[in-house]
Amino acid sequence: MSDGPRTGSQTAFIFPGQGSQAVGMGKALADNFPAAKAVFDEVDAALNESLTQVMWDGPIDALTLTANAQPALMAVSLAALRVLETEAGLDLAREAAFVAGHSLGEYSALAAAGALTITEAARLLRIRGRAMQEAVPVGEGAMAALLGLDYDQAVAVAAEAAGDDVCEAANDNAPGQVVVSGTKAAVERAIVIAKEKGAMKALLLPVSAPFHCRLMGPAAEAMEVALSGSTVMTPRVPLVANVRASPVTDPAEIVRLLVEQVTGTVRWRESVIYMAGAGVTRMVEIGTGKVLCGLVKRIDKSVSTSAVGTAEDVAAFIAARNAAASAA
């Protein structure tokens, strides 16, 4: 398979990352659609525990734990996708130009494209979540959003703030929205410096660890081991990788980039720019929330967006699909 865009397809399917979780997510999908319930049952079986009970009953503190949030968000994304396949006749391999996901969403994207089984994705995300949480003692790391600075300015702020500590650009989410990550003292310095440099707002994020910086080195090593024992197949749709902001289909390269992603910058802004430049005019966010839709609109207003994560969203997707078919 070529790593480039698929001829004739103008749609990309995108998958959300951590922060989108909410108690109750996916419950209505499971109650209304057997295909969704089958996904949740598979994830529970893969983890040998009832993650769905935490997802649907809470408490939110338990769901927000990185080791739970990561497989839970993937489960909702894949449940929603399976419903679209069974109820709306979606054929991702035929209809998608690319798949992409934000951080953990990259695993959801790979499962959607058939490169990972749902069982394997759940197992890997449980390992990833625990490893990322354990890489840095609680309270020693932090992340902050710098709003109103472009990526290069944010990188300069992080470098100035680092000193003998660690402060790096973790997420390039959208124009004027960059997240930095590192040791708590350095990130706090970055907030002060960013405001001095003209940031509209700079604030600490409520996260439990400093993701996507070199402090996550132990987690990257854990994922290298975990992925070496996993089966990663060629995806049916090219993945636009977080750390490269360009497509990849080779399984060995996918594994390498998934390891690199743990400590590397999530280049979401560039990924969206790449897909739009390759002819994508529509992006569909599959899973909980609409965070990525909002970022896409900030990056390129010409790209249309929609989100499918609830039973109501599924009905709207099917109605739009039927209307388009009638008009054709």
Q: Is the peptide bond before 59 cis (omega within 30 degrees of 0)?
A: yes
DSSP single-letter state for residue 235 = P
Q: Which of 103, 108, 181, 271 is catalytic?
A: 103
Clarify whether 212 is annotated catalytic: yes
Collect all residues with Cβ–Cβ distance below 8 Å to 232 and sequence separation of at least 6: 110, 115, 116, 251, 254, 255
Q: Which of 77, 102, 212, 271 is catalytic?
A: 212
Clarify whether 102 is annotated catalytic: no
- The sheet carrying 247-248 orders its strands as 247-248, 239-240, 96-101, 11-15, 282-286, 304-308
Give me the phi and psi of 193, to 5 degrees please: -65, -40
Question: Rounded CA gap, 54 and 70, in Å?
Answer: 13
* Beta strand 11-15 pairing with 282-286: parallel
Catalytically active residues, by annotation:
103, 212
